Amino acid sequence: MAEAKDTLLRLIALLRLIPREPARIATPTLQEKLKDSGFPVSLRTVQRDLERLSIPFALQCDESVSPFRWSLAQKARIDLTAITPPVALALYLAESHLQTLLPQSMLDQLGPEFRKAQDCLDSVENNGLAHWARRVRAHPNGKSLQPAQIASQVWEQTSIALLEHKQLQISYLSRSKTELKQLLIHPAGLISRHAISYLIGSVDGYDDLRQFALHRIRQAECLDTAARVHDDFEIDSYIRQDLNTTAPIAQVELVADVSPQIAWLLGETPLSTQQSLQALEGSDWKRLHAWVPDDHETQWWVFGLGENVRVHEPESWAGAIKERATKVGALYAL
Instruction: Judge whether 77 lies within some domain.
Output: no
State pLDDT tens for residues 76-98. Answer: 666 555 667 777 888 888 887 77
Instruction: Judge whether 39 lies within some domain.
Output: yes
User: Do residues 158 and 227 both lie within one domain?
Assistant: yes
Q: What is the CATH number of the domain that holds 290?
A: 3.30.70
165 by DSSP, 3-state: which?
coil
User: Do residues 116 and 196 both lie within one domain?
Assistant: no
Distance separating alpha carbons of residues 164 and 226, to the nearest angstrom = 8
User: Do residues 104 and 164 both lie within one domain?
Assistant: no
User: Do residues 237 and 255 both lie within one domain?
Assistant: no
Return the pLDDT at 1.
47
User: Do residues 170 and 236 both lie within one domain?
Assistant: yes
Round the CA-based radius of gyration of the chain to a whole number and report it: 29
Instruction: For helices 152-164 and 104-123, give the axis angle rounded to 10 degrees.
Output: 120
Return the pLDDT at 242.
67
Dihedral over Cα of 173, 174, 180, 184: its sign: negative
State pLDDT tens for residues 98-126. Answer: 777 777 777 777 788 888 888 777 776 66
Which residues, in sequence order, are bridge partners of residue 275? Answer: 290
User: Do residues 178 and 119 both lie within one domain?
Assistant: no
Return the pLDDT at 246.
55
Q: Are 216 and 170 in contact (CB under 8 A)?
A: no
Q: What is the CATH number of the domain that holds 61?
A: 1.10.10
Instruction: Judge whether 160 lies within some domain.
Output: yes
User: Do residues 237 and 167 both lie within one domain?
Assistant: yes
Distance separating alpha carbons of residues 53 and 49, to the nearest angstrom = 6
Please give the model's pTM, rounded to 2 decimal places.
0.60
Write out residues in the chain with pLDDT < 50, as ranges: 1
User: Do residues 63 and 97 both lie within one domain?
Assistant: no
